[in-house]
C-alpha cells in the first residue's frame, strides 16, 4: 500500500499551485474530522472523570463535590498517561506545538506514526482528569503527525514533508479554535522567535485550516471558543489616546509575567527531570496529585472557578468583569503554577489555552485596578481582559500576528485591534530572550531546515571584488625559471599555488606544491627543467565580478584550493590569488553580520 502511494506521489509532483491546493484541502478535511473526534473525546473524558466522578465544572470545584476524588482523579489520570507513554515508548516525542517546531527544524518534518493515537489518548486523560492544559496543542500535534505520515507515504521530499507537517497542524488548530485565519498564520509564525514567517507554508496552511474549519463547523456547528454575552461584546471599544498609557503598562506586565510563566514551566520540567529516584512513569501521577491539592485549595476561595483544563471559564468570567481583583490575582498565580506542574511532570496537552487564560486574568486585573486608580478614564476591564489574552501569548509564543488574529476570531470582536497590537509589540520588545517553545530559532538562517538554501543565497550575494583585499598577492613565476630557482622562490613563499607568466607578465599556466613535489627529487634536472615544463597550461581563472557561489563551485569541480583572479578586460593579467579558506571566511563573516543585524 505504501509503495502504491509513493508511486502515486511521484506522479502527483508538488510543482503546481493547483496540486498544492488539492492536497492541502484533502489534509484539511482529514484534520477537521480528527478535530471533531478529539474534541468529543476530551469533552467526554472531562464530563465523566472530573465532572461526574470528582464533581467539578469549568475547572472549579462544585458544591457537594468529593474532596477525596478531587485528589485521586488527577493522580490516576497522570498514572494512566505515564503508563501509556512507557508502553508505547513515546516519552521523548514531546507535547503540542513544541514537538511540531522541533520536528520542523531538527527532524526533517518527520513524526512517528504512533504520535497521533498516543497523543489523542494521553491528552484526553490529562485534560479529562483535571490537568491545566488545553486541547489546541495536542490537536495540532495530531494533525502534524497525519501530515508528516501522509507525505512520507507519498514519497515527498523533506521540504514538502515540512510543509505538510505545518498544514496538518494548522488544520487541527484552526478548526478547534474556530479561527481559520489565525490557525493558518500560527504555524508559519511560531517556527521563529524573531519577526519571521515560513513563507512557503502560508498557502497550504490557509487552505488546510479553512477546509478543516468548514468540516468542523458543519458537524458540530459554529461556536466561539470563548463565548461573550452580546451586550458585553458590542460594548468593547478602544478608548483612544487616553488609554494608551494603561495598555503600555499592560504590555510591560505581560513581559514580566510571561517571563515568570516560561521560567516556571522550564524550572518545573527541569526539577522533575532531575528527580532520578522518581520513575518517569510515575511523574505525571505525582503532578496530578499536586494539581488535586491545588484545586481543593483554590476551590475554597473561588467556588465554580478553578485551575483545571484550559481555563476558558476563567477567561470568560474575566471578560464579563464578574471576578474581584484579589480573586483574579490569586487565580492568576495558581493557574501559572498548575500549568507548570502539569507540563513539567509529563502531562499531555498544550499551553496555548492556559496562556490565553493567564493573559485574560492579567488584563482584567489591570483594567479593574486602573479603573479604580483613574476613575476619570472610564476603563472597561472586559476590553483589557480581551487585549491581555492576545498580548500575553503574542510574547510568550513569539506569534504577535497570529495571536491578534486568533483572539479576534475566537471572540468575534475586531474593535480592539489597535490596543491588541500595541500590547503585543511591547511584550515582544521586552521578551526577546525567552520563549515557551525552546526549539524555536531566531531566523530561517539558524534553522537546519534551511542550511542548504542559505549557504547558496549568502555566497550568491557576495562577489570576488568584495573580498579582493583579503586575497593574497600572487608569487609570479616566469615560465623560463629553472627548477632549482623555482624551488628557492617557493621555499620563501607562503602560497600553495603559483601562476606562471611569460615575458609580458601574462598568465600562461599554474602549478601547485603537489605538482612540484613530483619532480623535486630529480637532481640532475634542477638546471634543465623550467617552470614551463611542469606547469598546467589549462588554468581555471576568476574575475572580480564573479559570485562567490560560482567560485566555490569551481573550487569543488577543479579540486583546487586557490584560483588566480584576473582582470575582466585582460583575462591574462593576474590581479590576485584567492584561496578557498578566504571564501569560507567571507561566508562566515557575512552570516554573522546577518545574525547581528537588528530585526
Burial letters 407-438, b for 16+ CB under 10 A, else e: bbbbbebebbbebbbbbbbbbbebbeebbbbe
- pLDDT above 90: residue 197: no
pLDDT value, residue 25: 93
* Whether pLDDT at 256 is above 90: yes
Question: Of 451, 450, 350, 438, which Cα lies nearest the Cα of 398?
Answer: 438
Give the model confidence (pLDDT) of 270-283 as tens digits.
999 898 889 989 99
- Report, as an integer, the average pLDDT of 387-393: 94
CA angle, residues 390, 139, 291, in degrees to nearest 5 = 75
Task: Please indicate whether residue 514 or residue 60 has the higher confidence score (pLDDT).
Answer: 514
Q: What is the structure's pLDDT at 248? A: 95
Q: What percent of the chain has pLDDT over 70?
A: 89
2-220 homologous superfamily: Clc chloride channel (1.10.3080.10)
Give the residue from 46, 32, 217 showing the smallest Cα distance to 142: 32
CATH superfamily for domain 453-595:
CBS-domain (3.10.580.10)
If you average pLDDT over residues 35-47, what whole number do you get? 86
Nearest Cα to Cα of residue 463 among 543, 547, 542: 547
- 95 or 567, higher pLDDT: 567
Q: How far apart are CA 67 and CA 534, in angstroms?
A: 93
271, 343 in Cβ contact below 8 A? no
The answer, yes or no, to whether residue 5 has pLDDT greater than 60, is no
* pLDDT computed for residue 10 by the predictor: 47
Integer Cα distance of 292 and 287 in angstroms: 9
Residue 500 has pLDDT above 90, yes or no: yes
User: Do the domains spanning 2-220 and 230-444 agree at the CATH topology level?
Assistant: yes
% of the chain surpassing 90 pLDDT: 36
Cα 260 from Cα 18, distance rounded (Å): 46
Q: Do residues 565 and 583 touch, judged by C-beta distance below 8 A?
A: no
Q: Look at the alpha carbons of 336, 338, 339, 341 in this order and tell me if their dihedral is positive or negative.
A: positive
Angle in degrees, CA 291, 346, 357, rounded to 5: 55
Check whether 260 has a pLDDT greater than 70.
yes
Which of the given ranges, 7-16, 200-209, 407-416, 582-591, has the highest pLDDT on average? 200-209
β-pair partners for 542 = 565
Interstrand relation of 507-512 and 497-501 (parallel, antiparallel or unpaired): antiparallel
Structure letter (DSSP) for residue 53: I
Alpha-carbon distance of 197 to 102, in angstroms, equals: 16
pLDDT above 70 (res 453): no
Fold of 230-444: Clc chloride channel (1.10.3080)
CA angle 74/75/78 to nearest 5° reads 85
pLDDT in tens, 294-340: 888 887 777 667 787 777 778 888 888 778 888 888 989 999 999 99
With cut-offs at 50, 70 and 90, classify the pLDDT of residue 13. very low
Predicted local distance difference test score (pLDDT) of residue 434: 87
Q: Output the pLDDT for position 599.
A: 43
> 453 or 99: which carries more pLDDT confidence?
99
Residue 166 has pLDDT above 60, yes or no: yes
Burial 527-564 (b: 16+ CB within 10 A, else e): eebbbbebbeeebebbbbebbbbebbeebeeeebebbb
Do residues 120 and 138 make contact, with C-beta atoms less than 8 angstroms apart? yes
Q: Give the model confidence (pLDDT) of 469-497 as tens digits.
A: 888 889 999 999 988 888 888 888 888 88
Question: In this predicted model, what pLDDT tens digit does every residue of 532-543 receive, in sequence order?
Answer: 888 888 899 999
Q: Write down the pLDDT at residue 212.
A: 95
Q: How far apart are CA 321 and CA 383, in angstroms?
A: 10
Tell me how far apart the alpha carbons of residues 507 and 465 are, in angstroms, rounded to a whole number.
20
H/E segment holding residue 500: strand 497-501
CB within 8 Å of 598: residues ≥ 6 apart: none
Q: How far apart are CA 118 and CA 136, in angstroms?
A: 16
CA atoms within 13 A on the CB side of 183: 38
When pLDDT is cut at 50, 70 and 90, the band that residue 14 belongs to is very low
Top mean pLDDT of 5-14, 446-455, 512-521 is at 512-521
| Average pLDDT value for residue range 186-193 | 92
CA–CA dist 494, 284 (Å, integer): 64
The strand pair at 497-501 and 477-478 is best described as parallel
Average the pLDDT over 17-37 and give the result: 87
Could you tell me how many helices (H) and strands (E) the chain has, helices first?
24, 7
Summarize the confidence of residues 58-76 as an average pLDDT.
Answer: 73
Distance in angstroms (rounded) separating the CA atoms of residues 355 and 339: 9
Q: Could you tell me the pTM of the whole model?
A: 0.74
| Rounded Cα gap, residues 26 and 110, in angstroms | 19
Q: Are 422 and 248 in contact (CB under 8 A)?
A: yes
Report the candidate in 547, 491, 553 with the shortest Cα–Cα distance to residue 516.
Answer: 491
For residue 232, pLDDT over 90 is answered with no
How many CB atoms are located within 10 Å of the residue 469 CB? 7
Per-residue pLDDT for 591 more than 80? no
Q: Give tens-digit pLDDT for 299-310.
A: 777 766 778 777
Residue 215 predicted with pLDDT over 90: yes
* Conformational region of residue 219, where left means phi above 0, alpha means psi within -120 to 50, and beta covers everything else: alpha
Structure confidence at residue 451 as a pLDDT band (50, 70, 90): low
Lowest-pLDDT choice from 231-245, 430-444, 509-523, 541-555: 509-523
Rounded alpha-carbon distances, angstroms, from residue 54 to 233, 291, 296: 33, 13, 11
Distance CA 542, CA 498 (A): 15
Average pLDDT, rounded, for the chain: 85
Residue 156 pLDDT > 90, yes or no? no
- Say how far apart CA 321 and CA 301 lie, in whole Å: 17
Please state the domain extents for the chain: 2-220, 230-444, 453-595
Q: Give me the pLDDT at residue 6, please.
A: 47
Q: How far apart are CA 55 and CA 71, in angstroms?
A: 11
| Nearest Cα residue to 382 out of 260, 231, 172 | 231
Three-point CA angle 123, 127, 133, nearest 5°: 90
State the average pLDDT over residues 456-476.
82
CA distance 57 to 308: 9
Alpha carbons 146 and 166: distance in angstroms, whole number: 10
Amino acid at each position: 500500500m505504501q509503495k502504491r502511494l509513493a508511486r502515486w506521489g511521484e506522479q502527483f509532483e508538488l510543482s503546481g499551485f493547483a496540486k498544492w491546493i488539492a492536497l492541502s484541502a484533502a489534509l484539511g478535511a482529514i484534520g477537521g474530522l480528527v478535530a471533531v473526534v478529539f474534541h468529543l473525546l476530551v469533552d467526554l473524558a472531562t464530563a465523566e472523570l472530573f465532572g461526574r466522578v470528582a464533581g467539578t465544572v469549568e475547572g472549579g470545584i462544585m458544591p457537594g463535590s468529593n474532596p477525596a476524588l478531587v485528589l485521586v482523579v488527577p493522580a490516576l489520570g497522570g498514572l494512566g498517561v505515564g503508563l501509556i507513554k512507557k508502553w508505547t515508548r513515546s516519552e521523548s516525542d514531546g507535547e503540542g506545538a513544541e514537538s511540531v517546531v522541533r520536528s520542523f527544524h531538527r527532524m526533517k518534518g518527520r513524526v512517528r506514526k504512533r504520535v497521533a493515537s498516543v497523543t489523542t489518548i494521553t491528552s484526553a486523560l490529562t485534560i479529562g482528569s483535571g490537568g491545566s492544559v488545553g486541547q489546541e496543542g495536542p490537536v495540532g500535534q495530531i494533525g502534524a503527525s497525519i501530515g508528516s505520515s501522509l507525505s512520507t507515504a507519498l514519497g515527498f521530499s523533506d521540504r514538502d514533508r515540512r510543509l505538510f507537517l505545518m498544514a496538518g497542524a494548522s488544520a487541527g488548530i484552526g478548526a478547534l479554535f474556530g479561527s481559520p485565519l489565525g490557525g493558518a498564520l500560527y504555524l508559519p509564525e511560531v517556527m521563529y522567535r524573531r519577526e519571521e514567517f515560513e513563507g512557503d507554508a502560508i498557502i497550504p496552511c490557509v487552505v488546510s485550516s479553512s477546509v478543516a474549519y468548514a468540516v468542523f463547523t458543519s458537524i458540530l456547528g459554529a461556536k466561539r471558543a470563548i463565548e461573550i454575552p452580546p451586550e458585553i461584546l458590542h460594548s468593547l471599544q478602544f478608548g483612544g489616546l487616553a488609554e494608551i498609557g494603561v495598555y503600555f503598562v499592560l504590555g510591560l506586565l505581560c513581559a514580566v509575567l510571561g517571563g515568570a510563566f516560561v521560567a516556571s514551566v522550564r524550572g518545573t520540567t527541569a526539577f522533575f527531570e532531575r528527580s532520578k529516584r522518581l520513575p518517569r512513569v510515575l511523574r505525571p501521577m505525582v503532578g496530578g496529585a499536586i494539581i488535586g491539592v491545588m484545586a481543593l485549595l483554590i476551590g475554597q476561595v473561588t467556588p465554580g472557578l478553578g485551575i483545571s483544563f484550559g481555563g476558558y471559564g476563567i477567561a470568560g468570567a474575566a471578560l464579563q468583569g464578574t471576578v474581584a481583583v484579589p480573586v483574579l490575582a490569586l487565580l492568576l498565580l495558581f493557574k501559572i503554577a498548575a500549568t507548570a506542574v502539569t507540563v513539567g511532570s509529563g502531562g499531555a496537552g498544550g499551553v496555548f489555552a492556559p496562556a490565553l487564560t493567564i493573559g485574560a486574568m492579567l488584563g482584567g486585573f489591570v483594567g479593574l485596578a486602573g479603573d479604580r486608580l483613574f476613575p476619570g478614564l472610564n476603563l472597561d476591564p472586559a476590553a483589557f481582559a480581551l487585549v491581555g489574552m492576545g498580548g500575553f501569548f503574542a510574547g510568550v509564543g513569539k506569534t504577535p500576528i497570529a495571536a491578534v488574529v486568533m483572539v479576534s476570531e475566537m471572540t468575534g470582536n475586531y474593535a480592539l485591534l489597535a490596543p491588541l497590537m500595541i500590547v503585543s509589540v511591547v511584550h515582544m520588545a521586552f521578551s526577546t530572550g525567552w520563549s515557551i517553545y525552546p526549539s524555536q530559532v531566531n531566523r530561517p538562517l539558524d534553522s537546519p531546515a534551511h542550511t542548504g538554501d542559505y549557504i547558496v543565497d549568502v555566497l550568491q550575494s557576495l562577489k570576488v571584488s568584495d573580498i579582493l583585499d583579503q586575497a593574497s598577492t600572487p608569487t609570479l613565476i616566469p615560465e623560463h625559471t629553472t627548477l632549482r630557482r623555482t624551488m628557492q622562490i617557493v621555499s620563501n613563499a607562503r602560497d600553495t599555488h603559483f601562476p606562471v607568466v611569460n615575458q609580458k607578465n601574462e598568465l600562461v599556466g599554474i602549478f601547485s606544491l603537489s605538482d612540484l613535489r613530483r619532480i623535486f627529487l630529480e637532481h640532475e634536472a634542477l638546471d634543465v627543467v623550467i617552470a614551463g615544463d611542469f606547469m598546467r597550461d589549462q588554468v581555471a581563472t576568476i574575475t572580480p565580478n564573479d559570485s562567490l557561489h560560482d567560485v566555490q563551485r569551481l573550487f569543488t569541480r577543479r579540486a583546487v584550493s586557490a584560483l588566480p583572479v584576473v582582470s575582466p578586460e585582460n583575462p591574462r593579467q593576474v590581479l590576485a590569488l584567492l584561496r578557498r579558506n578566504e571564501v569560507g571566511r567571507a561566508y562566515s563573516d557575512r552570516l554573522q553580520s546577518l545574525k547581528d543585524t537588528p530585526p
